[in-house]
Structure 1
């Protein structure tokens, strides 16, 4: 008996010790050739985050550690069900290395059925990596995945689908560059092995810590890919089968499984992409579908408010293919509606050039026609021209207005206000408001024709305006787009313009000028007087008819302005350095208030009210002022 025990001990001593830590993830502990289920705890709170369900499948032979993650977004069900199937499909005896399956990474979002965000902190898990050990629930999940999963893996696959509100064309992503080029190349090989019909290289900036899951892994020297298959909270068996087959092909490519199953068909590559974002709160109706090819300017859908009024008609910014799209009605400002990609047969070898974007549309000026008593009160207010701003009578000489003038041009640095009396030369009626917007990039106006067409339901008017200079004749001044109507707008006109640079040469012959400069400061720069108070218009409050409210909002949204407050009686839009407050009324009063930014905080009197409709109020501690029109 003693001899037998001695021999047994010698045999055991000769065997290599089993590394229990290598097969341990939370409570899941797998010996070589075993499968184990368990949970990975998320510490740092008082049980506010449930542990993450994991399966560890440890091969009989040593090899790479591959982490496969699902459920980063709680309503992406195809990945979750795929890993459920994969956990039983993999045979430890036939494997090399270890496969760690994180079945549901975002358990709180899964349990509460939220899309994009965690239910308690309203953070997107795939935007908060590498996370924080003592952060919010979502940040702590990211920290656990980073430290306990990615840091211990030799390769990572993060499996997604379109979220519960998204329809999606299947694709896989990899990183076209990385701090370690070998990691980028291995990621590319994984992506091609998966066998998705579309492959999308990503080119993140690794100079700062990335916030996406797989980018975080790559930054730490671990090759990684994202898989996108399925969507809309559905889980057809075919999608699960195809996703599982792709994961198995990658495991073969990594050497975990024997064999080398060929990818099904030749993929196409996304060479550049951009998401069209929602500018407003509302209900979205999608007009396109994933995989569809669209032309630049094509209508992608329509956003209406709760009452059925059209707020926005998003259009394609370039020719491309629909990669994914929101397919359920609720949308909010700044969230994606449709992702478009430019597609080619060959993989790109460098980051894409910046795709063409619609130009920024800025407030240039606004005008209002005042009643005679209000206009005269402002015209006679000495403070207005002495301290508040440069005030002139307009082109071509910018002379001081005379005692009988019916137009006052109040100039700031980038914007100005045109105050008109009832006897104005344009024959505009009292109460009429005009909003002049402009682009700052040469050629930008032409890129606004299609968005305006979609917003207005027809082609916008297009004209070139000239100015006649003495001794020079007619000189092109600006090109303009505007809403064509069978009847003139009774309460508000809006147009967007682009200066013709040659106009500035004629206007300021003694100044150097840039043949490509169409900016507002090319016009206002020589007139701006920083020793006075006014810098710019920064807020405009309007009351319009219901019909004009609807078209005005559509026009601003088409020109790039975004809703910046929840829906209510006042519609708030932000863009181009200006905030718009718009309300509707059966008997609209037009311009209610204008807010100004100032060059400094004003000293002395804070209120000037020389007459009705002529009230100027100044902040006592901020460089701000407002003009309350008091129009009846």
Structure 2
């Protein structure tokens, strides 16, 4: 007797755009001052972003081909109303209209807000940057973990980067990152995120991921959600493990020589093999 074929799972509409990690001053400073991070590992920037009405934020940016890491130290955490150990996951879509499609899929899993538009100040002008919806609990007094889905404005690249050739001015994550991605360096992309969350956060985020097409695979106390591009591992939050505790990264080339880099006492970048590296946060 033939075994039944596994169900065909369509690729999810949404993929990882970036992760947000709030770290202590020692970790933030060590990353910002690391010659390896700035000159060898990936595209790196200590940047300041200005949006409408003069608001904005400052952070450290480590860019891959389609994904990136956004790191905030204590001063920006305080300005944002966050604490060290807080985190965010920003999912994204690659085609116009897919934000609304994702929002429709999520309606059954809870109340989803209407999309908001963020405008960015560039060259003295405010231009549409991206639309997004928040997926976190709007009733919570303070969210230690946030989730959103974003869709770049289809005209943003053309307006912000004059001279783009045809085919370079879309809204895909790869097109957006192209101006900064450094293919001669090590980092390709984030392929796995491990998050230490409260039980209510795990339940809500897991329900949303399933609604968006991710496949759920429980493993003991860990809830695993996977697509063909990304794995999310949700573990219980503890006193020492909060928010983003590990990133698994795909590499463009093998790292020779030194394979372990420490940033303060609570962050370690470790090259595992020729194809992957792990970046750990918390007590290790």
Range of TM-score over shorter length:
0.7 to 0.9
* Alpha carbons 2:63, 2:181 under 8 Å: kept: yes
Higher strand share: 2
Q: Residue deviations 1:274-299, cap 9 Å, x none?
A: xxxxxxxxxxxxxxxxxxxxxxxxxx
In the superposition, relative to structure 1, how do residues 526 and 491 fare at CA in structure 2: closer, same or farther (>3 Å)?
Answer: same
Matches within 5 A, 1:404-423: 407-423=59-75
How far off is 1:481 after superposition?
1.5
What is the match of residue 562 of structure 1?
A: 215
| 1:589 equivalent in alignment to 2:242 | yes
Contact 1:359 1:447 in 2 (8 A): no
Q: Distance in 2 between matches of 1:368 and 1:358?
A: 27
Instruction: Look up the match of 1:495.
Output: 148
Shift in alpha-carbon separation, 1:383–1:488, aligned structure 2, 3 A: farther
Q: Could you list the structure 1 runs, at least 4 aligned residues long, displaced by more than 6 angstroms after superposition.
A: none
| Alignment map for 1:258-407 (pairs within 5 Å) | 335=7, 360-394=13-47, 407=59
CA positional deviation for 1:395: 5.9
Matched residue, 2:54: none
Q: Within 5 A, what are the aligned runs for 1:419-458? A: 419-424=71-76, 425-456=79-110, 458=111
Aligned ranges for residues 85-234 of structure 1 at < 5 Å? 106=1, 123-124=3-4
CA–CA separation in structure 2 for the residues paired with 1:518 and 1:386: 28
Unaligned runs of 5+ in 2: 51-56
CA deviation string 1:43-69 (max 9, x = no partner): xxxxxxxxxxxxxxxxxxxxxxxxxxx
The TM-score with structure 1 as length reference comes to 0.41
Give deviations 1:392-426, integer Å, cap 9, x for gaps.
134669xxxxxxx9621001111000111011153
Query: Residues 479-498 of structure 1: CA distance to partner in whole angstroms, max 9, x if unpaired?
Result: 11212512255321000011
Q: Please name the residue that 1:59 is paired with.
A: none
TM-score relative to the length of structure 2: 0.87
- 1:469-480 counterparts in 2 under 5 A? 469-471=122-124, 473-480=125-132
1:131-170: per-residue Cα shift (whole Å, max 9, x none)?
xxxxxxxxxxxxxxxxxxxxxxxxxxxxxxxxxxxxxxxx
Is the counterpart of residue 524 in structure 1 residue 180 in structure 2? no
Rounded Cα–Cα distance in structure 1 between residues aligned with 2:112 and 2:37? 41
Partner residue, 2:251 = 598
Other structure's SS at 1:393 match = strand
Q: Which has the higher contact order (CA 8 A, sep 6+)?
A: 2
Aligned to 1:481: 133
Aligned-residue offset at 1:360? 2.2
**1:450, distance to aligned residue in structure 2 (A):** 2.1
Q: What are structure 1's unaligned runs of at least 5 residues?
A: 1-105, 107-117, 128-333, 338-356, 398-404
- Name the CA shift for 1:422/1:584 in 2 (closer, same or farther; >3 Å): same
Q: 1:613 deviation in Å? A: 1.8
Answering whether residue 267 of structure 2 is matched by residue 630 of structure 1, we say no
3-state SS of 1:423 partner: helix
Deviations 1:48-97 (A, max 9, x none): xxxxxxxxxxxxxxxxxxxxxxxxxxxxxxxxxxxxxxxxxxxxxxxxxx
Larger radius of gyration: 1
Aligned equivalent of 2:190: 537
Measured against aligned partners, the alpha-carbon deviations of 1:289-335 in whole angstroms (never above 9, x if no partner) come to xxxxxxxxxxxxxxxxxxxxxxxxxxxxxxxxxxxxxxxxxxxxx54
Rounded to whole Å, the distance in 1 between the matches of 2:108 and 2:220 is 25
RMSD (CA atoms): 2.6
